Amino acid sequence: MSESEKGFTAKNTGFKRFYYASKYSWQGIKAAYAQEPAFRYEIWASAVLIPLSFVVAQSPMQLAALICTCLLVLAFELVNSAIEAVVDRAGTEFHELAGLAKDLGSAVVMVALIMGALIWGAVIWENYL
């Protein structure tokens, strides 16, 4: 099925599409950094942990795992921020499902943080203890 049959047509293709997608992604990262304190903390933690991973890791697999845990936390924080923005845009009155959506988004970040702590702990344990 072609794009026009699906009801939409891509405005940009090839490199131009990649350029605009990258531009919008960077705008999202800048907005999250400006508006979300948790994202700022996680960026700064990653700025310390990613270089440290080159010291701690003793194999390419360990290095990839340590770096990916940092990136995964950032990715889930961005998703959580997007959920919060959509819910807040939908209305200011309390709704059970809005609260649930925000809680679930927060839980995803918490699970990623726990996973990261476990992986970092396991690598440090294996290599140094």
Active-site residue list? 77
With a CB cutoff of 8 Å and minimum separation 6, the contacts of 120 are: 49, 56, 66, 69
Rounded-to-integer distance, Cα 13 and Cα 19, Å: 10
* Structure-token match 């679930």, residue found: 104
Rounded-to-integer distance, Cα 17 and Cα 50, Å: 30
